Structure 1
Amino acid sequence: MDSHTLLTSYLANLKVDLIVADYNECSTDWRDLDYTPDYSKFYFIIGGEGWLKIGDKEYYPKPGELILMPEGVKQSYACISERPFLKYWCHFSAKVGEMNLFRVLELSHVCIPENPAAVEAAFKGITDSARSDAVYAPLLARSKLLELMSYYMMNLKLDELSYKNLGAARKLTAVLDYIAENIEQNMTIHDLAEIAYMHPNYFMRLFKQQIGVPPIQYITRQKIEKAKELLTTTSGSVSAIADQLGFGDLFYFSKQFKKHAGLTPTEFRKHKSGGMI
């Protein structure tokens, strides 16, 4: 297991919120220089000619490119010809716990989706929902924004990704590795803080900021995931599996399992074996 484990945890706990979205034909008056937004942006280029500057990098986007402009980074943009710059766009926030995703991860600003039609369809869904007065529209917009984020991540090369606080990332990766390798044991905050060489109070704050949930809640989730695997692949009793994973109390195990899986352990095993519930 490596630092990609940390990325998986980030994305599993990612929360996104759409601020505004639309489709525009940008003329030569579309221009702004050296501003730093407190929101992130996606552009999906349909046609025309434009210029972007993100940080100290300049881009001349082409049709079919999906552009990420993260918050907190100085930016500029302009249309550079008489041909209208055609693009879908959205402003949004993306957080893991209390941390903005793009203050934790350094991602490539440009990706070329393998399936541009799917990206355009996601953007159309976002813009349609943003314009709708329906009570469910914000929920649908958020789901389409997550879909768009998935397309972006899907088309990135993982070696293009880097962590802005590599020291903290490495420490948390070591902790996540330890949890995975010792999931059948009972672990304390003190144990995990020692692995990260941190004071327990600081460790708990950092873990929740970076992973999105407190350490004990994360461990419980991972134990339940392991329980699902054991219920599906072994014939051990529910009680034996609870003991194996360090729950001890069968009632507490069943309660936690249903909280995370929506079914009791027995119902889950029956469902996975093709039985009716």
Structure 2
Amino acid sequence: MDKEKQTFWRSYLSGLQLSVAVAAYTKVPPTWRDDDYVPDINKLYFIEDGEGYVAVGDERHYPKPGSLCLLPAERRQSYGTMGERTFSKYWCHFTAKLGGLHLFHALEAPVVVAIDDLPRMKALFDRLLDAHKSPDWTAGMHEQAALLEILAIFIEQARPASAVPADGAIQKMNAVLAYIETHLADNLTVEELAGLLHFHPNYFSRVFKRTTGLSPIQYVNRKRMDKARHQLAFSATSVSNIAFSLGMEPTYFSRMFKEHTGLAPSEYRDSFA
């Protein structure tokens, strides 16, 4: 992937929203099988032992021990056993979205990847399972952190091709995204951002959402919350000053932060203490 695309995808992926539905370790029974169904959630299998098959569309794969398998949401798929030596596997069902788009609709990734560092992957899945079962109030953050690292490894080793957006859109949107990044404290408007590309605001909004999965204002607010999370975690700056640095009144900032993270700013900061 060239430098321009890397710049775009780094900014794009920073807004990835994850949610784990279930995670476990299982020795599957001989009856483990389902054919030609379309789930609304992603599935991730890390195969430790055994044999079987997984399929997405018309492509069938036979993962070996040490493989990480991704069955993306809203794609026709199948799975099943091939004998008595069934899969022993870590597995996770999850959602991963960029705005309203499924992550693996935006990235064309293979179904099966052979993992280089097996002890690391096993340790990450152990962390994911421990966090998923934990009653601690910060367990969801640890759960997402483990899944994020697993997905990062999968994407790095898969080297997927970007399905969207097209190169021309990347070049244009890189300039807009960079402008947003350096003007988060300003009262950014759709008209101002559209003017950077000499687009009509309505057309700009359509192109922006098709490219990023978010409306311009949703994207600006997401980047503000990303910056706020970093400042709360790694600085002693007061909540009020963080809000002002982002061009927001403290009360409105706190309400928006809780909508985005589920935690008040002070609660989020305390989780890193």
TM, length-normalised to structure 2: 0.70
Q: Does the 8 A contact of 2:194 with 2:201 survive in 1?
A: no
The answer for the alignment partner of 1:108 in structure 2 is 110
Paired with 1:42 and 1:10, the residues of 2 have a C-alpha distance of 22
Q: What residue identity is the alignment partner of 1:109?
A: V
Paired with 2:102 and 2:137, the residues of 1 have a C-alpha distance of 27
Matched position secondary structure for 1:123: helix
Give the unaligned 5+ runs of structure 1: 222-250, 260-277
Matched residue count:
230
Q: Does the 8 A contact of 1:67 with 1:111 survive in 2?
A: yes
Residue by residue over 1:134-170, the C-alpha shift from the partner in whole angstroms, topping out at 9 and shown as x without a partner, is 333222211111121122122222xx4231x444x64
% identical aligned pairs: 28
Give the unaligned 5+ runs of structure 2: 226-240, 251-273
The answer for the alignment partner of 2:245 in structure 1 is 255
1:161 aligns with 2:161: yes
Residue by residue over 1:107-130, the C-alpha shift from the partner in whole angstroms, topping out at 9 and shown as x without a partner, is 122222221111111111111222
Q: How does 1:9-48 map to 2 (within 5 A)?
A: 9-48=11-50
Deviation, 1:184, is 8.0
Paired with 2:127 and 2:13, the residues of 1 have a C-alpha distance of 22
Paired with 1:4 and 1:196, the residues of 2 have a C-alpha distance of 28
The answer for the alignment partner of 1:61 in structure 2 is 63
Deviation, 1:217, is 5.6
The answer for the alignment partner of 1:134 in structure 2 is 136
1:191 aligns with 2:195: yes
Q: Does the 8 A contact of 2:176 with 2:193 survive in 1?
A: no
Mark the CA change 1:210 to 1:61 in structure 2 (over 3 Å): closer, same or farther: farther
1:176 aligns with 2:178: no
Mark the CA change 1:41 to 1:253 in structure 2 (over 3 Å): closer, same or farther: closer
The structure having more radius of gyration, on CA atoms, is 1
Paired with 2:23 and 2:102, the residues of 1 have a C-alpha distance of 20
Paired with 2:25 and 2:222, the residues of 1 have a C-alpha distance of 40
Identify which range, 193-202 or 132-141, moves more after superposition: 193-202
Mark the CA change 1:211 to 1:53 in structure 2 (over 3 Å): closer, same or farther: farther
The answer for the alignment partner of 1:209 in structure 2 is 213
The answer for the alignment partner of 2:152 in structure 1 is 150
The answer for the alignment partner of 2:260 in structure 1 is none
Paired with 1:212 and 1:201, the residues of 2 have a C-alpha distance of 6
TM, length-normalised to structure 1: 0.69
Q: Does the 8 A contact of 1:207 with 1:215 survive in 2?
A: no
Q: What residue identity is the alignment partner of 1:65?
A: S
Q: What residue identity is the alignment partner of 2:152?
A: S
Matched position secondary structure for 2:53: strand
The answer for the alignment partner of 1:240 in structure 2 is none
Paired with 1:134 and 1:253, the residues of 2 have a C-alpha distance of 28
Residue by residue over 1:211-235, the C-alpha shift from the partner in whole angstroms, topping out at 9 and shown as x without a partner, is 99646568989xxxxxxxxxxxxxx
Paired with 1:118 and 1:84, the residues of 2 have a C-alpha distance of 23
Matched position secondary structure for 1:81: coil
Q: What residue identity is the alignment partner of 1:50?
A: G
Deviation, 1:177, is 4.2
Paired with 1:67 and 1:196, the residues of 2 have a C-alpha distance of 43
Paired with 1:218 and 1:132, the residues of 2 have a C-alpha distance of 28
